[in-house]
Amino acid sequence: DHRDLHSFPTRRSSDLVDKDKMETDLATSKRNVVRAFHDAGIDDTSEMMRLIETATGKSVIETIDDAKKVISYLKELDEKDEE
């Protein structure tokens, strides 16, 4: 039946552009996390992993929101150190 062919979703070029932008934004966010670790003087990988897990509840940064949580957590730690 030819109607079955119309029931499958098709990809629009804008979908691919949106996906590429999301991947680029996530990569940028991950670089920002690395920069935040560097700025905080944290260069030990196991310490980075522990902080990521504490901030996100995950072992890796999967989303832009995860990256924001890690950066926010590092800022909180920095503010506590300044007190």
Q: How many Cβ atoms sit within 10 Å of the Cβ of residue 13?
A: 7
- Mean pLDDT for the chain? 86
Question: Residue 72 is encoded by which pair of tokens?
Answer: 């926010």
26-62 per-position pLDDT tens digit: 999 999 999 999 999 999 999 999 999 999 999 999 9
d(CA 76, CA 83): 11
Q: How far apart are the first and last CA of the chain?
A: 71
The tokens for 6 are: 């119309």
